[in-house]
Amino acid sequence: MRRLWRVFKHRLHYEQWFFLMPRTEATITIQNVVATATLNQKVDLNAVVKSYPGAEYRPQTFPGLVLRLKRPKTATLIFSTGKMVCTGAKNEKESRSAIMKVVNELKKGGIIILSKPSFKVVNIVASASLGGQVDLEKMVVTLRKTLYEPEQFPGLVCRMDEPRVVILVFASGALVITGARKEQEVYEAVHKLHGILEEQNLIFYE
């Protein structure tokens, strides 16, 4: 009897989990990883410009210098305080690689770097498609922490607590996810929202 009960509980748990799984697989694409790095020292931006004529530096309009890389295709803002902001990477590995490449290029240009930079991902922007039509009017009434003002913007804003992200939801089933600090959080958020939409009958497939 105990063995049968264990098998029954296992089957029940599986069926409940399976029921909550989305019926279609969402397609997810990481669009931009924004990361910061700190050199813990001052940087002479005028000296950087002399070493790299292609660097963009207009201190009269913006205090940061922009250094662009082709591989990985990124743009890194460098401030005189030693802080850097890297954008354009498609994953965390690319972002780290870009930061280290910029640091090495600074060294080659004669800029003395005293220590290894600290690194932190501060925002991941991703897009996704759920493959179905979402009832935004019903969604804003059914789910908490949602905002939908179609006369101002066609998408619904959904704020998720766990993982802590903001998702723009469009009637076409397209999503834009922002605020994640790890790539896994993007996949967790999309899967969670997709399951909720199906459970609440808020998404329909042709």
Per residue in 124-140, pLDDT (tens digit) is 999 999 999 999 999 99
Examine domains 35-121 and 130-204 and report if their fold is the same: yes
Cis status of the peptide bond prior to 117, with omega within 30 of 0:
no
Measured in Å, how far apart are the chain's first and last C-alpha atoms? 45
Sorted by where each begins, the domain ranges of the chain are: 35-121, 130-204
pLDDT digits (tens, 9 = 90+) for 138-195: 999 999 999 999 999 999 999 999 999 999 999 999 999 999 999 999 999 999 999 9
CATH 3.40.30.10 for the 35-121 domain, yes or no: no
Q: Give every CB contact of residue 23 below 8 A, 6+ residues apart in sequence.
A: 198, 205
Report, at the CATH architecture level, how domain 130-204 is classified.
2-Layer Sandwich (3.30)
Asked whether residue 20 carries a pLDDT value surpassing 80, the answer given is no
Strand partners, 125: 32
Task: Record the pTM.
Answer: 0.84
